[in-house]
Amino acid sequence: MLKFKNVDAYYGYIHALKDVSIEVPKGKIVTLLGANGAGKTSILKVISGLLEIKEGSYEFDGKDLKNYKPEDIVSMGIVQSPEGRQIFPDLTVHENLMVGAYTRKDKLNINKSLIKGYEYFPILREREKQIAGTLSGGEQQMLAIARALMAKPKLLLLDEPSLGLAPLIVKDIFNIIQEINKSGTTILLVEQNAHQALSIADYAYILETGKVVHSGHAIELRNDEKVKKAYLGSS
Amino acid sequence: MNIFFQNVIAGLETGSLYALAALGLVLIFRTTDVINFAQGEMAMFCSFIGFKLFTSLGLPYPVAFIVTIIFAVLFGFIIEKYVIRSVNKASVVSKMIVTLGLIMVISGLATALFGIDSHYLRKAITLDNLNIGGVVIQPNAIFIILVTIVIMSVLFYMIRKTLFGIAIRATAQNETTAKLMGIPVNRITSSSWIIATVLGAIAGLLIAPTTNVSTTMMGEIHLKSFIAAVVGGFGSFLGPVVGGFLIGILDNLVGYYITLKWKTVIVYGLLIVVLIFKPTGLFGKIHRKKV
Ligand SMILES: Nc1ncnc2c1ncn2[C@@H]1O[C@H](COP(=O)(O)OP(=O)(O)OP(=O)(O)O)[C@@H](O)[C@H]1O
Ligand SMILES: [Mg+2]
């Protein structure tokens, strides 16, 4: 569904992505793992049209994505829940969700997506009228995911959904990510919580300073000694 | 008491115009962080267009008014697209300096095209004054106040209730994320420039009977609209409107009851007092835009 071929990207002279090739097959959960500054967010920025690439190419359903604006990418069905949640703090929960539906052409079905979002995250229905900036961290994360779902994505990009959340909530959120995937949405999941990510993903890439250093089926990586040592904090 | 009401109505009349202009400033500021210092000059240019349509082309006043608004739409669109957007990568401060430069360009252009003379332009409503229980009211003043209220209501409805309005506020809060959600931020910016230019043009046409149409006609409104925006709070849409009315009314009451000479000083004093007790303005919240 999504394919990166030998992509290089820079911030000024900082070489953020080096010859990156990854693939996200339809219907799967693929995870990108790696330490701070490895280039995970940069990959998502490239996909969403916020960061230009210098070399290589990347495509979605066979379509070259280079030169598309962020709003076109969303219209194509690729939507991101960005790092640090980035909800709109002064809008209500409901308004945040409506922003997610901005590109929808099928205005009549927006309400269905809203109900679906509230089914995944019932707490958001209770907080519907609340100013989003006053939500707790976990609730904000739920809102960020629900907001992305409002666009009815084919491919959902999640940047560190577990960041700063209590283990119990992380577990909830990962369960819901799995449910979203089962209902037909392909997922590209960026995580530092390698343990959790590998437990729900089909396939994983491990990045180090802008390069892919490992890749494989999640089950294999979970049992790989080298990976265990470096990323799972156990031997 | 009659005199008091007359002053309040006169205050609401000029306050309306401050409010329109201030809302234009805030709209652009909220969506782009840029303060358009050329708003007054753009309004002046539009007023000249209206004046020419009315006198030289001899169009009926309402038609000239509407064509001027159409011109303002194009004018705002062009300034944003070809001037402001072309310096997209520059810092916010640089963009503000660009709008300062626009003051000179537009007023130079106006002088070249329309000359330095000042011209009378008729009022929108030229009916005889009404006398309601001793209070003398100009129908034109009522018209100006009503037009402003209608425009404000439509704008507030749009900003609060429509998806487009939610998108404007989302862009104001976090532009990058707005993009990630598929909001065409360029179009939002363009729209806010267009709406602001139209608001300015309306203010210009409506003040013209008082100031005459000239290259310096917007000076006072422009400055007072800034004060209105700051008093009301740059971070809110309602604040500048309230600020505009407040300054208009105060202007008139101070001018009549205390002294005409010191009225400007006293109104500026209000600005300082408000900022001491409420640094973000009466309705202001802390502006927390992330880029
Ligand atoms: N806007 C920017 N300007 C300059 N350099 C940047 C910018 N954004 C990221 N970088 C650099 O690019 C590299 C990759 O950053 P990226 O955000 O992709 O890392 P990451 O894997 O998402 O890290 P984290 O887990 O901390 O979020 C880092 O060295 C970072 O310093
Ligand atoms: Mg990151």
A183 interface with B at CB cutoff 8 Å: no
* Residue B139 domain flag: yes
Going A110 to A114 to A115 to A117, the CA torsion angle's sign is positive
- Phi then psi for A189, rounded to 5 degrees? -110, 115
Radius of gyration of chain A (CA): 17
What range does the domain containing A8 cover? 2-188+200-220
Compute the distance between CA of residue B29 and CA of residue B128 in angstroms, rounded to an integer. 40
Residue B275 buriedness (CB in 10 A; 0-12 / 13-18 / 19+): middle
Cβ distance B180 to A103 less than 8 Å, yes or no, reads no
The reply to whether B89 falls in a domain is: yes
For residue A48, give the chain B residue with the closest CA.
B180
Strand ranges of the sheet holding A211-217, from the earlier edge strand across to the other edge: A78-81, A155-159, A186-191, A29-34, A203-208, A211-217
A4-35 burial, b if ≥16 CB within 10 A, otherwise e?
beebebbeeeeebbbebebebeeebbbbbbbe
Residue B180 and residue A80: Cβ atoms within 8 Å?
Answer: yes
Residues 6+ apart with CB under 8 A from B202: B20, B69, B147, B151
Please say whether the beta carbons of B252 and B7 come within 8 A.
yes
Cα A84 to middle of ligand 1, angstroms: 13
Tell whether B287 is covered by a domain: no
Q: Is B60 strand, coil or helix?
A: coil
pLDDT per residue, tens digit, chain B (291 aa), is 788 999 999 999 999 999 999 999 999 998 888 999 999 999 999 999 999 999 999 999 999 999 999 999 999 999 999 999 999 889 989 999 999 999 999 999 999 999 999 999 999 998 889 888 888 889 999 999 999 999 999 999 999 999 999 999 999 889 999 999 999 999 999 999 999 999 999 999 999 999 999 999 998 899 999 999 999 998 888 999 999 999 999 988 988 888 888 888 888 888 899 999 998 889 887 655 444
Nearest to A99 among B166, B176, B290 (CB): B166
Tell me which residue has tokens 């009466």: B282
Q: Residues A87, A127: contact at Cβ < 8 Å?
A: no
User: Domain of B129?
Assistant: 13-217
Pick the residue whose CA is nearest to atom 28 on ligand 1.
A37
- Within 8 A of A102 by CB-CB distance, chain B residues are 163, 167, 181-183
CB A91 within 8 A of CB B166: yes
- The encoded tokens of residue B18 equal 């401050």
How many structural domains compose chain A? 1
Q: What is the ipTM of this complex?
A: 0.92
In chain B, % helix, strand, coil (3-state, to 5) comes to 75, 5, 25
CATH code for the domain of A158: 3.40.50.300
Q: From CA A235, how far away is CA A224, in angstroms rounded? A: 10
- Going by CA atoms, what residue is nearest to atom 22 of ligand 1? A41
* Residue A159 in domain: yes
Chain B residue whose CA is closest to A103: B182
Per DSSP, the residues of A68-133 read --HHHHHHHTEEEE-TT----TTSBHHHHHHHHTTT-S-GGGHHHHHHHHHHH-HHHHHTTTSBGG
Cα B246 from Cα B232, distance rounded (Å): 9
Residue B127, burial from CB neighbour count under 10 angstroms (0-12, 13-18, 19+): exposed
The Cα A88–Cα A12 span in angstroms is 29
- Please, are residues A100 and A146 in contact by the beta-carbon 8 Å criterion? yes
Q: Is residue A230 a part of any domain in this protein?
A: no
In a domain, B135, yes or no: yes
Asked whether the CA dihedral B25, B29, B31, B34 is positive or negative, the reply is positive
CA distance A188 to A173: 15
B280 touches chain A (CB under 8 A): no
Tens-level pLDDT at each residue, chain A (235 residues): 999 999 999 999 999 999 999 999 999 999 999 999 999 999 999 999 999 999 999 999 999 999 899 999 999 999 999 999 999 999 999 999 999 999 999 988 999 999 999 999 999 999 999 999 999 999 999 999 999 999 999 999 999 999 989 999 999 999 999 999 999 999 999 999 898 999 999 999 999 999 999 999 999 988 888 777 777 664 3
d(CA A53, CA A69) in angstroms, rounded, equals 13
**For residue B236, is it within any domain?**
no
Total structural domains within chain B: 1
Residue B267 within a domain: no
Cβ neighbours around B213 below 10 Å, total: 26
Q: Which residues contact B89 (CB under 8 A, 6 or more apart)?
A: none
Interface test with B, best of A68, A102, A104, A143 (most B CBs within 10 A): A102
Residue A127 sits at the chain B interface (C-beta within 8 Å)? no
- For residue B276, what are its two tokens? 């001491």
Residue A197 beta carbon below 6 angstroms from any ligand 1 atom: no
